[in-house]
Amino acid sequence: MSVSDRRAGAPHVSFFRYEHHSAPLLPREGFVRRLMRNAAIAAGLIVFSLALGMFGYHLFVRLDWTDSFLNASMILTGMGEITPLDTTGGKVFAGLYALFSGVAFLTIIGVLVAPVVHRFMHRFHLALDEEAPQDGSRGPRPHRNAGR
């Protein structure tokens, strides 16, 4: 969809579907649904990240599934690994997985916090719109040299 299509009134469709700042505030039920949807997305990202780590530890470090789960979960949460790494492949995997885990952690937090931040900002914009003059003016403007 082009910018001109959006200006012409065509609806903008996105994955997360947040309302525009000029639209009314989403009702509480819709907000709770949005929180639950984002929590499900975050849970899916956690499961995917954990499965990726478990598979890598099992394949490259030759750990059993329980120790693979332990190491992957510890790296994913930022605590560090438990099992010493003896193989070069295991060390390379652990480093790459640690880098991935940092980005995944920030992404998951962003997905969880986004609805709350959006609602706060939306409410803030609605409050500003209510305080704005209704005649379209911006109110009195101070003289350019008023502060000197």
Return the domain boundaries, the chain: 26-131
What pLDDT, on a 0 to 100 scale, did the predictor assign at position 119?
81
Question: Cβ of 145: how many Cβ atoms within 10 Å?
Answer: 6
- Give 114 or 148, the one with higher predicted confidence: 114
CB of 76 closer than 8 Å to CB of 101: yes
Phi, psi for 49 (deg, rounded to 5): -65, -40
- Give 30 or 15, the one with higher predicted confidence: 30
Using CB atoms within 10 Å of the CB of residue 18, give its burial: 0 to 12 exposed, 13 to 18 middle, 19+ buried. middle
Flag whether the pTM goes above 0.75: no
What pLDDT, on a 0 to 100 scale, did the predictor assign at position 3?
46
pLDDT, tens digit, 9 for 90 and up, residues 80-99: 889 999 999 999 999 999 99
**Across residues 32-40, what is the average pLDDT?**
91
Fold classification of 26-131 is Helix Hairpins (1.10.287)
What pLDDT, on a 0 to 100 scale, did the predictor assign at position 121?
81
HEC string of 46-99 equals HHHHHHHHHHHHHHHCCCCHHHHHHHHHHHHCCCCCCCCCCCHHHHHHHHHHHH
Express as a percent the part of the chain with pLDDT over 90.
47
CB of 51 closer than 8 Å to CB of 100: no
pLDDT, tens digit, 9 for 90 and up, residues 109-143: 999 998 888 888 877 765 665 665 555 555 555 55
Q: What's the whole-number average pLDDT of the chain?
A: 81
